[in-house]
Amino acid sequence: MKLKTDLLLPVAAALLCLMTLPVAADPATSQDDENATLVRLIHELDALTPLINEAEGKALVDNRVRLNYGWLRRDIALVKGGIEWHLNTPSTEPRNVEPLKGDYRY
């Protein structure tokens, strides 16, 4: 089913873009509220794995342009790792961030 594979890249790109947008802070929310939402986001990222596996299993290997599922998995893991790092690190020190691949076609 080519439609799912064709939609995977835009969905993944939209998810990554949405995660980089600043969120307006509600003064009534607490750090615990934010952390709970970030934990939910980690679960959503984990839920992408079966979909990615399914799409990869249905990919046609003789297509001229193919999605690089390894890079997609890597970038999702980087995003997830960044969220986990934020949740588990009390420090406000800046850190080096590995850039996302962003282009999943090869």
Query: pLDDT tens digits for 46-82?
Result: 999 999 999 999 999 888 899 999 999 999 999 999 9
Residue type (1 letter), 87:
L
Q: How far is CA 47 from CA 7, 101, 102, in A?
A: 16, 21, 20
Cα 82 from Cα 27, distance rounded (Å)? 24
Q: Using an 8 Å Cβ cutoff, are 31 and 86 in contact?
A: no
Mean pLDDT over 40-51 rounds to 96
This prediction has a pTM of 0.60
Give me the half-sphere count of Cα atoms (radius 13 Å) on the Cβ side of residue 70.
1
